[in-house]
Amino acid sequence: MSVRIPFNFSSEPFQRSRPVLAASVATITVLACSLVVLCYWGYTDRDLASGAREQVAMLNAQQSRLVQGQAAVEARLRRRDYADVLERNAFLNVLLYRKGISWTRIFEDLESTLPGNVRLISVRPQVTPNNELLLDMVVGAQSNEPVIELLMRLEASPLFGATSVQSWLPPSQNEPLYRYRVSVNYVQKL
């Protein structure tokens, strides 16, 4: 029987460190490349951010100039002589807008919508603050049913909008008709 005694004459024993060393070099290379790419992106983003900051500063300066110009114009318009001219212009614009209402067109559209047994007693167009046309009408009929039919026709028509009955009067000795005051939106192009 022989006894084996392991004996190594080298000062350092043999180790298999080549795969660990290769993996370490590969990891360091990947990290170095990542660092270079991130530094490049940071540099280009800094340039883009400085350009954006310059553009924002330019737009802010332009906005402040416009606000100052608007304040100067408003101050000038608040002067009494300019205010009178603006008030007169607004009045004339309202008159011209009302002048654009075509009575012929109103009556044609109402004629196509009114049932045969409903009489149109009066009609008064009004321009609302939203620049819409509102017809305030008084209609008369022998009974309630034709007026109900008129309301349904008005609401079904593409020329008229929502209708509302403001008031009604029963027949009297002087007036043999039921009288209804009706308001309806009208979509005439002005």
Q: How far is CA 3 from the centre of its chain?
A: 98
**Does some domain include residue 91?**
no
Helical (H) or strand (E) element with 129: none
Q: Are residues 150 and 182 in the same domain?
A: yes
- Is residue 65, in this structure, part of any structural domain at all? yes
The pLDDT-based confidence of 9 (bands split at 50, 70, 90) is: low
Could you tell me if 111 and 172 lie in one domain?
Answer: yes
- With tokens 């308001």, the residue in question is 183
Give 146's DSSP letter. H
pLDDT (average), residues 25-46: 92
Query: Is 93 within the bounds of a domain?
Result: no
Claim to verify: residue 178 and residue 105 sit in the same structural domain = yes
109 and 167 within one domain: yes
With cut-offs at 50, 70 and 90, classify the pLDDT of residue 33.
Answer: very high
For 117, list phi and psi in degrees, rounded to 5. -100, 20
Sheet arrangement for strand 133-141: 118-127, 133-141, 178-186, 160-169
Model pLDDT for residues 131-174, shown as the tens digit of each residue = 778 889 999 998 889 888 988 988 888 888 888 888 888 888 88
Q: What is the pLDDT of residue 125?
A: 85
Q: Which of 13-27, 28-42, 77-91 has the highest mean pLDDT?
A: 28-42
Mean pLDDT of the chain: 84
Question: Whole-structure pTM over 0.95, yes or no?
Answer: no
Comparing CA positions, the residue from 169, 186, 167, 187 lying closest to residue 178 is 169
What's the domain range around 182?
101-186
48 in a structural domain: yes
Residues near 82 by beta carbon (within 8 Å), at least 6 away in sequence: 76
Report the range out of 14-18, 20-24, 32-36, 133-137 with the highest average pLDDT.
32-36
134 inside domain: yes
- The CATH number of whichever domain residue 155 belongs to comes to 3.30.70.2830
Q: 27 to each of 17, 37, 60, 92, 187, how far by Cα in Å?
A: 15, 15, 48, 82, 75
Q: How many domains does the chain have?
A: 2
Tell me if 33 is assigned to some domain.
yes
Indicate the pLDDT class of residue 10, thresholds 50, 70 and 90.
low
User: Domain for residue 166, yes or no?
Assistant: yes
* 119 and 180 co-located in one domain: yes
* Gyration radius (Cα) of the chain, Å: 44
- Kindly list the distances between the CA atom of residue 136 and the CA atoms of 54, 77, 166, 177, in Å, as whole numbers in the listed order: 59, 37, 9, 18
Residue 172, domain member (yes or no): yes
